[in-house]
Structure 1
Amino acid sequence: MKIIEHQANGINSYTLVNNHHMSVTIMDWGATVTAIRTHDKDGHFANVVLGFDNLEDYITTRSFFGATIARVAGIIKNAQWRDYELTQNAGEHHLNGGDLPQIAFEPWFLERKLQTKDQVGLVMQYITLDGENGYPGTMTITANFILDDHGKFTISYTGKSDKTTLFNPTNHSYFNLSGDAERTIDHHILKINADEYASLNKHGLPTGKLPWVTNTPFDFRGREEIGPQIASLPTGLHHGFVLNDTPYPQVELFDRVSGRKLTMRTNAKAVVVSSATHYRDDRFRLNGGKSMRSQLGLSLQAQTLPDAIHHKAFGSIIIEPNVPVTYQTAYQFSNIYDV
């Protein structure tokens, strides 16, 4: 177990490496996961999340690849909570915590490194002040990134505020288990242990309704191939799913060609899944020279459903003064052809 440090263009990166050569790279800019390298069926290692080839693109393009989203992930309709006017940065709405500043594009402080015989990790911290983006309370956000020797990568976000405020963080990594984005995620197999999803209106805002997934393209309770399943959705997947309370992994994703498999468990109540459908951008290069194209990655954002403050059934994201709240998500990587 070891940590390899890198520095370029004023950005510090840290690569966590376990004893089986799996590695995870995190940079302090946005507490961002830039690479997760795991092996395919032939033992070849490749990056299974979308990451920019040029670190400067993380600063200039603001695409949220791998970033920590806080204080609140997703949309808040009309940028309003109680008597607080939040930053409007998505038309009249508030998106991903606002942009004055945007926590996903700010440097985080490395509090400490962690290393034992079977775990290696980082603890990063960001302090957002009372009134920033309209939120009450000065909040300390602590991010823990831990890689163990069994292929499990765990992200924990803890928020503590001196006033009653909102907290609903997530990580915005896009996964592509083909390795180095060799193929789209159309033929990836996805399972989501969820009976209900959050419906959206024509503007992409949650309606507050939680329909059953039965007989819809949102039914991933079996192992479904992503492309055919969402072919009837004009904008692809950008939806939240209410996770069932189960001891089994709530989400499974695997690629038959490479054999790579990802399972996810979280204490969050939901996962927002995005298929990056119709997302194309030739301004930057990803994963060794690839250009961004439709359905090149799949994000699995563990969180409370977006716009929860306006929909009681979604759950509460209100936290009380000096009472820390933690969201924890574990990603277990393996290979289906391993024996």
Structure 2
Amino acid sequence: MKLHFKLLVPILCLSMLISCTNSSTKNPQVSDESISKSVVLSQKEFQKSIDGKNTDLYILKNKNGVEAAFTNYGARIISLKVPNQHGVQTDIIVGFSSVDQYIQSTEPYFGSTIGRYGNRIAKGKFILDGTTYSLSINNGVNSLHGGKKGFQDVVWDTKQINEQSIAFSYFSKDMEEGYPGNLKVKVIYNLTDANELKISYEATTDKKTVVNLTNHAFFNLNGEGSGTILNHQIQINANFYTPVDSTLIPTGKHEPVADTPFDFRKFSIIGKRVADDHEQLKNGKGYDHNYVLNNPNGNQLNHAASVEGDKSGIIMEVFTIEPGLQFYSGNFMQSKNTFKGGSKDDFRTAFCLETQHFPDSPNQPTFPSTVLNPGMFYNTTSVYKFSIKK
């Protein structure tokens, strides 16, 4: 009998509720700096054979004109076009215009599904039932986002359910990247007529293992190519965060955000305190930390965060049943890659909000467990909701 394993499952459901403005109300004087360039993706550029499997480009559209693009290389989201406060379609996901660019990128995670384990595991080791498992080391002395060839670098099987839903499936073999168990994974994207882009995860295993799936979308709510995200305002529903050492592994403590640069319980500009003289900001080179979310409703969807684009008026709200949220302020973006609109991945021109269980949970007995046993059914759906500033 399959069990619903609710504590383990990270929810990244992107739910979008957008106030669509009639074209007759568009402001013709809108600055080019506040809107993203309109880019038409070429399907040919996403058709490639990798490890004997074919990749492709997939488009979902709803009746309101919201459009999302995906590729099965990494089961990743490439673009998401929603209207800004002037009714102009704005691509709020940064990404590339070809599979080759994703393969060659110095940042492998743009928009991808992350697994088997999102975030870091200390020294690439953990113990289950007395057995020590050694993972690929790919981030200093640690393992990050599933190892050297995580789920972002594999070709997923694809089933286009209809014009608004698509499912990606992957079979991760026992001991792939050092993880035990044959893991069957499915990720379903559904763009509803309520302007919700839902991402649901499913997984089963035949051997005890650890799992922490998430999505690594990089957002700029002013649109790709619009410049820094430091003037976005953010609010995070968390009284505590998990401080990290110099290698970004949690110390095991829950530290209060009060009276620190990590206090976003009320809306604050991202860049206001990012350069403060604080040990944790030095360790992360900015914000790259897990927040311990306030969770008043147990396993129900809870409000995790809200972000407002300062130029676009687009508001993104994040809801999840997960205990944690990784806030990353684009600290390692180095202008080495060119996005689909022609702009570079300049320093802090995108941010991430990854719903998750805590980093290094397999080695932290006081953290919520990420163990998945045979017979359990890993199943979740999560939400990122978009609206327009009134």
* Structure 2 length-normalised TM: 0.80
- Partner of 1:179, secondary structure, is coil
Determine if contact 1:187/1:225 at 8 Å carries over to the other structure. Answer: yes
**In the alignment, what sits opposite 1:185?**
229
Pairing partner for 2:151 from 90, 95, 103: 103
* Aligned-pair CA distance for 1:278: 4.7
Task: Supply the distance in 1 between the matched residues of 2:304 and 2:184 (Cα, whole angstroms).
Answer: 29
**In the alignment, what sits opposite 2:191?**
147
Where do residues 112-131 of structure 1 align in structure 2 (5 Å cutoff)?
112-114=160-162, 120-131=164-175
Q: Which residue type is aligned with residue 264 of structure 1?
A: V
Higher strand share: 1
- Partner of 2:344, secondary structure, is strand
1:94 and 2:128 matched: no
* Aligned-pair CA distance for 1:138: 0.3
Pairing partner for 1:254 from 296, 308, 327: 308
Determine if contact 1:169/1:327 at 8 Å carries over to the other structure. Answer: no
**In the alignment, what sits opposite 2:346?**
293
Question: Identity of aligned pairs, percent?
Answer: 27
Greater shift, 29-38 or 79-88, is seen at 79-88
Task: Supply the distance in 1 between the matched residues of 2:214 and 2:73 (Cα, whole angstroms).
Answer: 15
Determine if contact 1:278/1:293 at 8 Å carries over to the other structure. Answer: no
Task: Supply the distance in 1 between the matched residues of 2:380 and 2:268 (Cα, whole angstroms).
Answer: 27
**In the alignment, what sits opposite 2:23?**
none
- Partner of 1:313, secondary structure, is coil
1:197 and 2:241 matched: yes
Determine if contact 1:121/1:145 at 8 Å carries over to the other structure. Answer: yes
Query: Which string of whole-angstrom CA distances, capped at 9 and with x for unpartnered residues, describes residues 85-133 of structure 1?
Result: 222222432111112x322111100134145xxxx21111000001111
1:135 and 2:189 matched: no
5+ long unaligned stretches in structure 2: 1-40, 49-54
Pairing partner for 1:6 from 37, 40, 43: 43
**In the alignment, what sits opposite 1:20?**
64
RMSD: 1.8
* Aligned-pair CA distance for 1:184: 1.1
**In the alignment, what sits opposite 2:125?**
80
Task: Supply the distance in 1 between the matched residues of 2:328 and 2:176 (Cα, whole angstroms).
Answer: 28
- Partner of 1:217, secondary structure, is coil
* Aligned-pair CA distance for 1:248: 5.3
Task: Supply the distance in 1 between the matched residues of 2:245 and 2:266 (Cα, whole angstroms).
Answer: 26
User: Structure 1 residues 278, 128: closer, same or farther in 2, change over 3 A?
Assistant: closer
**In the alignment, what sits opposite 2:38?**
none
Determine if contact 1:276/1:298 at 8 Å carries over to the other structure. Answer: yes
User: Structure 1 residues 187, 279: closer, same or farther in 2, change over 3 A?
Assistant: same
* Aligned-pair CA distance for 1:332: 1.1
- Partner of 2:177, secondary structure, is helix
Task: Supply the distance in 1 between the matched residues of 2:218 and 2:122 (Cα, whole angstroms).
Answer: 25
Q: Which residue type is aligned with residue 70 of structure 1?
A: G
**In the alignment, what sits opposite 1:228?**
272
* Aligned-pair CA distance for 1:203: 2.4
Task: Supply the distance in 2 between the matched residues of 1:323 and 1:248 (Cα, whole angstroms).
Answer: 24
Task: Supply the distance in 1 between the matched residues of 2:61 and 2:42 (Cα, whole angstroms).
Answer: 11
Where do residues 309-328 of structure 1 align in structure 2 (5 Å cutoff)?
309-328=362-381
User: Structure 1 residues 91, 180: closer, same or farther in 2, change over 3 A?
Assistant: closer
Determine if contact 2:302/2:321 at 8 Å carries over to the other structure. Answer: no
5+ long unaligned stretches in structure 1: none
Task: Supply the distance in 2 between the matched residues of 1:60 and 1:227 (Cα, whole angstroms).
Answer: 30
Determine if contact 1:266/1:327 at 8 Å carries over to the other structure. Answer: no
* Aligned-pair CA distance for 1:300: 0.6
> How many equivalent residue pairs?
328
Q: Which residue type is aligned with residue 164 of structure 1?
A: K
- Partner of 2:383, secondary structure, is strand
User: Structure 1 residues 50, 5: closer, same or farther in 2, change over 3 A?
Assistant: closer
